[in-house]
Amino acid sequence: MQGLRQTTITRMTLEHEPARAVKRAWRADLLDFTATPSWGSPDEAGVRLRPDHWLLVDEQGRIEGATPHEPGHDWERHDHRGRLLMPGFIDTHVHCPQLDVIASWGAGLLDWLETYTFPAELRHADPAVARAGAERFLDALLAHGTTAAVVFPTVHKASAEALFEGAAARGMRLITGKVLMDRHAPDGLRDDVPGARAECEELIGRWHGRGRAAFAATVRFAVTSTPEQLAMAGELGRRHAGLYMQTHVAESREEVRRVAELHPEARSYLDVYRRAGLLHERAVLAHGIWLDAQDRSLLHDTGAHIAHSPTSNLFLGSGLFDWSAARAAGHGVSIATDVGGGTSLSMPRTLAEAYKVQALQGERLTAFYALHAATAGAARALRLEHEIGSLERGRLADVVIWDWAAGPVAEHRDAVARGALAGTTPQALHARLFAWMQLADERNVVQSLVAGHTRHRRAKGA
């Protein structure tokens, strides 16, 4: 195998509600965002808290509205008073097969790929392994409060197929596509241009636009695709309306150097993708740490966006994402776990790390801004704001009910914050929500709904 680096040539039980069509109402503190909140200051811009309201969901699983009054007996009522209900989180970059290698010790990006990731992904060549992996992964997303995702499977068609099938069975919004990699990867993990094109076309024909599925031309990164393969991925996007593109960009300095060696014709790493026609408004690029001003303008001009992956960037030692520069350039930023480089599927944990990454650069990320980025902001960046990311009438009821606190320390902290809420200023709400964002994880998830159906319920006694 030719190495990545020049120097190393070498089920949780599903509780499905009955299929009968019923109207359901959910009582809780309803929180969502109606606009992008302010950066760096917790004022009320864009934040909508409707304390102790009922969220009304029609027979088709769409949000009909919200009311402080208990609805009539024609509604099936679910009382979660004292809990928090938010739109389900949207994880815009995560690797299904990498649950096998999450939390693996001691390597930077390129070594980590060779040592842990590629051997794990090879095992998913077996369709039975891929199917079991997809089921485990999708159930885990729901158990962590994530109801929609943009996902990397492996190079094997069966692994993408397994994700599409699993998401369809759960009614989930899922964007994926078989991984493209035709060089610098081990035997068994490489494809070639004609074979990859045929497999992508087959998957597009079967899944793209079917139910809540969409296909993404899934370029692993500029190291593992030839220029011919990158061009083929660009052509796919031009041939099929609504196709996504997902990849990695400018994650580690060593990777950036390697890409410069492999693509001397390009001005920058991001420019490799521009030249192949891969930057457009449905392009999701993970990381984007080592970009310059010209790259950021290119993202803005093309409508492509960055999936910021803080736990992964810290864990692999890749660098600190400059969110404030991204804001200044005006390009989109969503939030991603990037498991298994990332260390948790939990979005609150990911947002807590995003806060610390900004703190190291002298910025203070607000809970409002962060939670918006992981819900309505992500929906907007994916051009799916008509479907997900808010509690607005007409959206599908992809929503999650959370405990405000799990465990004695968080309970005490929340009680203190609730006391401060007596004045109900945006600052007091922010203080409570910020403590929640820093302390919550999957233990706080009570129930996850997809299009109004319960797809995860916390086990009794947990």
Rule CB under 6 A: which residues touch ligand GUN? Answer: 95, 109, 113, 117, 220-221, 248, 251, 312, 338, 341
Cα distances from 368 to residues 292, 373, 376, 391, in angstroms, run 27, 9, 11, 16
Q: Pick from ligand GUN, Zn ion, none: which does 109 bind, CB < 5 to 8 A by kind? A: ligand GUN
Dihedral of the CA atoms 83, 88, 93, 96 (nearest 10)?
90
- To the nearest whole angstrom, how small is the minimum distance from the Cβ of residue 456 to ligand GUN? 26
**Which amino acid is present at 370?**
A
Cβ-proximal residue to ligand GUN, closest one: 341
**Are the C-beta atoms of residues 125 and 411 closer than 8 Å to each other?**
no
Q: Smaller CB distance to ligand GUN: residue 288 or 341? A: 341
Radius of gyration of the chain (CA): 21
Q: Pick from ligand GUN, Zn ion, none: which does 288 bind, CB < 5 to 8 A by kind? A: none
| 3-class DSSP state of 279 | coil
Residues 6+ apart with CB under 8 A from 136: 11, 99
- To the nearest whole angstrom, how small is the minimum distance from the Cβ of residue 251 to Zn ion? 8
Q: Smaller CB distance to Zn ion: residue 93 or 212? A: 93
In 3D, which of 85, 149, 98 has the Cα closest to residue 334?
149
In 3D, which of 37, 36, 20, 32 has the Cα closest to residue 66?
32
Q: Smaller CB distance to Zn ion: residue 56 or 286? A: 286
Q: Smaller CB distance to Zn ion: residue 373 or 445? A: 373
| 3-class DSSP state of 158 | helix
Q: Smaller CB distance to Zn ion: residue 91 or 135? A: 91
**Are the C-beta atoms of residues 141 and 345 closer than 8 Å to each other?**
yes
**Are the C-beta atoms of residues 309 and 336 closer than 8 Å to each other?**
yes
**What backbone torsions phi and psi does residue 356 show, to the nearest 5 degrees?**
-65, -35
Residue ranges in contact with Zn ion by CB under 5 A: 286, 338
| The dihedral sign for the CA sequence 303, 309, 314, 318 | negative
Q: Smaller CB distance to ligand GUN: residue 145 or 340? A: 340
- To the nearest whole angstrom, how small is the minimum distance from the Cβ of residue 256 to Zn ion? 15
Q: Pick from Zn ion, ligand GUN, none: which does 116 bind, CB < 5 to 8 A by kind? A: none
- To the nearest whole angstrom, how small is the minimum distance from the Cβ of residue 238 to ligand GUN? 24
- To the nearest whole angstrom, how small is the minimum distance from the Cβ of residue 332 to Zn ion? 17
DSSP state, residue 452: T
Q: Pick from ligand GUN, Zn ion, none: which does 140 bind, CB < 5 to 8 A by kind? A: none
Q: Smaller CB distance to ligand GUN: residue 178 or 248? A: 248
Q: Smaller CB distance to ligand GUN: residue 155 or 410? A: 155
- To the nearest whole angstrom, how small is the minimum distance from the Cβ of residue 98 to Zn ion? 8
Residues 6+ apart with CB under 8 A from 366: 37, 38, 39, 40, 41, 42, 430, 434
**Are the C-beta atoms of residues 447 and 59 closer than 8 Å to each other?**
no
- To the nearest whole angstrom, how small is the minimum distance from the Cβ of residue 12 to ligand GUN? 25
Q: Pick from Zn ion, ligand GUN, none: which does 391 bind, CB < 5 to 8 A by kind? A: none
Q: Pick from ligand GUN, Zn ion, none: which does 117 bind, CB < 5 to 8 A by kind? A: ligand GUN
- To the nearest whole angstrom, how small is the minimum distance from the Cβ of residue 152 to Zn ion? 6
